[in-house]
Amino acid sequence: MGSGKRSLTTVTMALACACACACAVLAASGPAYASPTPTPTSTRTTSPDLTLPPTSTPTSVSNKELEAVRTKLDTLYHSAAVATDAYNAAEEKVKEQSAQIVGLAREIVKGQERLDDLKDLAGAAARAQYRSGGLTPEAQLWLSEDPQEFLDGAGRVRQGEHATEGLLAEMTRTQQDLEQYAKDASAQWTKLESNREAKDEAKKKVKQQIAAAEKLESQLEAAEKARLAKLEEEAAYQAQTTWLNSGVTLGSGETSAQGKKAVAYATAQIGKAYEWGAEGPKTYDCSGLTSQAWASAGDGIPRTSQEQWKQLTRVDIKDMRPGDLIIYFDDASHVAMYIGDGAMVHAPRPGRTVTIAGAGSMPILGVVRPDA
């Protein structure tokens, strides 16, 4: 759509905003870490206080205190998202290295079988040579009743000697191959163990961050949780409005056939729960949703949001079209799929479901196109 077109009413969003601008449905159900600024922000690494102010009770939490809670949740879930990406990356490496080790093991088995066959052939050649030995070629010619037969046999002997030399060389090469396969398998196994440790550490961190966020939210009564949700919606709406009013020009290009399939898959998952490390079909994390959506369209893409940002073709926001992936935060820790009219579909965070939100409801790092 052109730069003058800002209407988002073509996108169906079952969301309710408490503020006067209830028409801003694109901002609703955005992740708790939504930021009102449309530019990338620095990664947050500080460890927040996980309790409400000591003078407060669940029934007397002010909006200011709730805003502090929202900020803390923002930090915790962002850290969980970063750890989730690290977990997914390590998981992909574990799968890849496991497959390589299996392949090397098969090569070792085949090489050993080949070496055994070569040894049998070499043994047979050695025995044949031993049986024909004992006399010099001149003596064998003198005693032979048919000199021509002897000469023919001598030619075959020379051929056999050359064949034996080739056989021994092949045995040497096969033995060297086996030794290299064994070294490669050992190296891959070391990497596998390292990435398993990295995966376990990332898994531990994800669980810690989510548990801390859940503990913080559990201190609130239902009414405060509802107020907190409205604050999240308002922050997302404000960020989306700021983004649209910043002069950004939305793309008007027609999506590809693959892009349409990817969008159809992603939007069909709306309402399914977020689960870190999940790739469907019942639950998803952010990059699990986008990678599976494009896989369904016949185009495999990297598993993590960071690798999607690194490896896929980057396009300007003004050229963005449905099916493109929007990468968020300066550490590329979140990803969503653009669906047109300034909206995107994504798996926000733990405790949320796959939903439609404003494309500018979080700080955008950039846009990538899987089928460029």
Cβ neighbours for 92, distance < 8 A, ≥ 6 positions apart: 303, 304
Which residue bears the tokens 């001149």? 138
Tokens of 31: 């992740």
HSE on the CB side for 140, CA within 13 Å?
14
Q: Which residues are catalytic?
A: 286, 334, 346
Tokens of 255: 């999506």
Cα–Cα separations (whole angstroms), residue 201 to 3, 16, 91, 196, 286: 45, 39, 12, 9, 20
End-to-end CA distance of the chain: 19
Cβ neighbours for 353, distance < 8 A, ≥ 6 positions apart: 29, 270, 271, 272, 273, 274, 347
Tokens of 86: 């690290």
Which residue bears the tokens 């961050």? 209
Run of H or E including 340: strand 334-340
